Amino acid sequence: MVREINVGLVGLGTIGSGVVEILQTNSKLIEKRTGVKINLVAVCDKFTERAKQLKVNDICVSDYKLLLKNKKINVIVELIGGYEPARTIIMDAIKAKKHVVTANKAVLAKHGYEIFSSAQKNKVNVLFEASVGGCIPIIRTIEESFSSDNINCIYGILNGTTNFILTRMNEGMSYEVALKKAQELGFAERDPTFDVEGKDAAQKMFLLASLAFDAKFASEPFTCGITNLTKKDMDYAKELGYSIKLLAIAKKENGEVELRIQPSMVPKSSLFYGVNNEVNAVLLSGKQTGEIFLSGKGAGKLPTATVVVTDIIELASRTRVAQRFFQNAKIKPLSNTISKYYFRVGLLDQPGGLAAVAKIFAEEKISISGCEQKEISGEIVPVVFITHKATQGQMDAAVKKCNALACVKDKVVIIRIEDLK
């Protein structure tokens, strides 16, 4: 028996146009495979030229409220992005008793608690698989596959732009050249700040952590991007058997959640080591299920649009309203988080410098795993230390003391080392 679902689509940008193309091309295939007939009843976009190009101008309107008033439509697909008017459109759709599909991680990271609460009160579903990880089914994995388990940690490469840039830097490019290449290929925006400063990955991990830990956070994750990474540190990491990735990390332990996004070194033994270019990846660890690793294209018009359409299909067979609950959760202070560290300092080529740094490590109770003197460039000697596990607070104190030494001429650089599988 074929079940019909009637869709009102708001936004004919990159992803929205991809959804239209998939429905125009694959509707019969979808119906054969799933028993779901998707009818695109109306679209809303302020640029009518897009509708003409997609041949949907006969069902295009400029006011989204007309879609809400249309009694035939039972699903609103929001694909305009950003905070407003996206939030208002989603909330109005929910109040109109219409299900919602969105790929908007920004609005969910900022207003998700409000949106999910309203959806439950109005007995409608909000699905958003395409908001995190592109075609990786991470939301469904957390909410369905792991629904009977307790997730204790999530690690992720959640931004394809930064991963592409770091891949190119690992091959020898400078940051500036790698960014330009990413822009030329359409992976990076003209203004790449949101990606390269880690904000995009932070919104995604904020959303994943909220869902995985049933947590309501009052503050945002610690976020550090890739703009200060140098080719020198990429090369040294490679020599030491590591690769630098922008990792988003969420770990629940002793009533606190460690939530941070920052460049981290991963060893060759890690599955993340070989995740390159615009590919995303997520490692989940559950108490009963253990670890699973998912990877795939993190962005792109048709991969993302395909996931949006999959959510529409899912709505046709849903017999329940998603029950999402969130309890107040405390984010662990960054100074208390623990890991191994890469520590690079530029010392004057004179006696006593290395001993002075080692003394500071001893004062801060930081154990040294290894030390290597790199090539001499003029009178400055780059020295790389690898530490055993230490707190961020210990490392920050050591950095401050080392930078105050007269023998230190290149400021200290530290990068976390994550021993992941």
Q: What is the DSSP string of 358-418?
A: HHHHHHTTPPEEEEEE---BTTEEEEEEEE-SEEHHHHHHHHHHHHTSTTEEEEEEEEEE-
**Alpha carbon 386 to chain centroid, angstroms:** 28
Domains observed in the chain = 3-131 (3.40.50.720), 138-297 (3.30.360.10), 336-417 (3.30.70.260)
Round to whole Å and give the CA distance between 176 and 182.
Answer: 10
Our answer to whether residue 421 is catalytic in this structure is: no
Give, for all 421 residues of the chain, the pLDDT tens digit: 789 999 999 999 999 999 999 999 999 999 999 999 999 999 999 988 899 999 999 999 999 999 999 999 999 999 999 999 999 999 999 999 999 999 999 999 999 999 999 999 999 999 999 999 888 999 999 999 999 999 999 999 999 999 999 999 999 999 999 999 999 988 888 899 999 999 999 999 999 999 999 999 999 999 999 999 998 899 999 999 999 999 999 999 988 999 999 999 999 999 999 999 999 999 999 999 899 999 998 777 888 999 999 999 999 888 889 899 999 999 999 999 999 999 999 999 888 999 999 999 999 999 999 999 877 667 888 999 999 999 999 999 999 999 999 999 989 999 999 987 6
| Candidates 98, 105, 204, 401; catalytic one | 204
Q: pTM of the full predicted structure? A: 0.93
